[in-house]
Copies of this chain bind each other. A is one copy, B any other.
Amino acid sequence: MMLANKQVVLKNYVEGYPKESDFELRSSMISSHIPQGSKGLFVKNLYLACDPYMRHKMSHHISNDVPLLASFNPSSVIIGLGVAKVIKSADADFEEGDYIWGMTAWEVYTLILNTNGLFMIKYTDVPLSYYAGILGMPGLAAYIGFNNLCSAKEGDVFYVSYAAGGVGQLVGQFAEMKGCHLVGSASTDEKVHLLKSQLGFDDAFNYKQGNDLARALKRHFLKSIDVYFENVGGNMLDEVLLHMNLCGRIAVSGMISQYNLKKLDGIHNLFCHISKRLRMKGFSEFDFWHKVPEYLEFPIQLIREKKLLFVEHIAEGLAKCCINFCWYLLWAKCWKEDFSSFN
């Protein structure tokens, strides 16, 4: 059967901040036929995730030595994580009507030829969109980053940048459960309010206010930082290094402030690694796909009991994916609008 499809195509490599003109909304026809011999699925996409790592893949990287961070192919549909419903299945593990999440594409229908890394959605008493968030990759990132890299203990001063983001808000809540003194930063007063009033942050600040990051950190960290969960990079990292405690840990999950820059910011304070015996470790949740089943059992009951919250921003309609993505990467400017539905 032939079906009308719509796709978001990356027209060319993106330089600087993404613009709507970097994307094209393309109409086409797609066959629901699954090629013989393939154990593929034909799915209808329901929720598509807009994740920061995707911006990295929109740039042209000469050495694509890390497959999952390799550049997208221009003129092709954008590949990303999403939640979908199975229309047809040639894989005995899935059947028509099942809900799944995993790697799909920014289009209405997708023919997924390789079902490795797709997950059947087991718990449907929570919003399906959660599988693109708290029960999907951002959740896994927060879980792995927090448990494997932070060595957080009760009483630690724990700082999360980009704290209202998908990963940040979860890491924060995990740290709060551990009994850490939890501080977050975000780019608007609304988000700061959200962190303190709903997400369990002991303190939070708008890092843009006053345009003096050094001063903001001094004011909000009377005691040095034991754990820094790094989501932004750049000047924030440089200043935070000066505020780290002896034997502090830095878990590097993302560097969103850098993804639109041609030349990345220079970090000048790495000598703190010696003077303070710091440990800084990067990770990618993609390496821990095998941990998904273990992870899912952890938050599900907490979500049901409202002990773990997740604040989503959902844009309706495929066309909005690209507009939304531009917004997303201009988060510094646009989160206010993104969060309007939560105020």
Contact = CB atoms under 8 A, between A and B. Distances in A.
Interface of A: 65-66, 69, 233, 237, 246, 252-255, 258, 263-284, 287
Contact of A283 (B263, B274, B287): B274
Give the 10 A-B residue pairs with the shortest CB-CB distance, closest first.
A266-B266, A273-B282, A274-B282, A279-B281, A252-B273, A264-B268, A267-B267, A280-B280, A66-B275, A69-B275
B66 A276 contact: yes
A276 B66 CA distance: 7
Among A66, A255, A274, the one with the most B-chain Cβ atoms within 10 Å of its Cβ is: A274
How many copies are assembled?
A: 2
Given A265-B266, A266-B266, A267-B266, A274 B246 contact: no
A270 B230 CA distance: 12
A280 B253 CA distance: 14
Secondary structure dominating the interface of A: loop
A244 B251 CA distance: 18
Nearest to A245: B65
A165 to B, nearest CB: 15
Nearest to A267: B267
B66 A270 contact: no
Contacts of A268: 263-267
A252 B241 CA distance: 15
Contact of A269 (B69, B264, B276): B264
Contacts of A276: 66, 282
Contact of A252 (B237, B266, B274): B274
A264 B271 contact: yes
Nearest to A66: B275
A253 B274 contact: yes
26 contacts: A66-B276, A69-B274, A69-B275, A233-B270, A253-B274, A254-B274, A255-B274, A263-B268, A264-B268, A264-B271, A265-B266, A266-B268, A267-B268, A267-B270, A273-B280, A273-B281, A273-B282, A274-B282, A274-B283, A274-B284, A275-B282, A277-B281, A277-B284, A278-B281, A278-B282, A279-B279
A258 B276 CA distance: 17
